[in-house]
């Protein structure tokens, strides 16, 4: 199964995750989800594949989260999904899908155990060195 990353090139975590994937020898299918947002069905499938709650995928920083009042528990999962579809910036990133599973890769090194051949160590943009799980 090919590797897919739902990517935002303006996000350092997303850039580091993409670099780790490429360093492992994979050339992923890169979906810039702000330009090409997932459909409702794709978003629901990603949430189910990751095994997370809809609310866990919401991004607060740099989004209309607060102004839309999305922190209020009154919102149903369907309403939160609709908000993410209308405002894709609300979808936290990067999401990576491989044959080993799907995951929100925050921090970026969470991608390492999704890869068949992760690098032993990787230096992030900020100079932090991370190591592949043993």
Catalytic residues: 11
Burial group, residue 16, by CB count within 10 angstroms (0-12, 13-18, 19+): buried
Asked if residues 98 and 114 have their Cβ atoms less than 8 Å apart, the reply is yes
**Beta-bridge partners for 98:** 101
Asked if residues 78 and 40 have their Cβ atoms less than 8 Å apart, the reply is no
């Amino acid at each position: 199964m090919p590797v897919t990353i739902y990517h935002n090139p303006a996000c350092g975590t997303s850039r580091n995750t993409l670099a780790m994937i490429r360093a492992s020898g994979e050339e992923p299918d890169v979906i810039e989800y702000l330009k090409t947002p997932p459909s409702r069905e794709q978003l629901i499938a990603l949430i189910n594949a990751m095994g997370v709650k809809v609310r866990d995928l919401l991004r607060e920083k740099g989004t209309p989260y607060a102004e839309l009042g999305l922190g209020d528990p009154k919102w149903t999962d369907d309403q939160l999904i609709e908000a993410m579809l209308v405002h894709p910036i609300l979808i936290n990133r990067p999401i990576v899908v491989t044959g080993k599973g799907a995951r929100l890769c925050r921090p970026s090194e969470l991608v390492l155990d999704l890869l068949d051949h992760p690098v032993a160590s990787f230096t992030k943009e900020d100079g932090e060195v991370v190591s592949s799980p043993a």
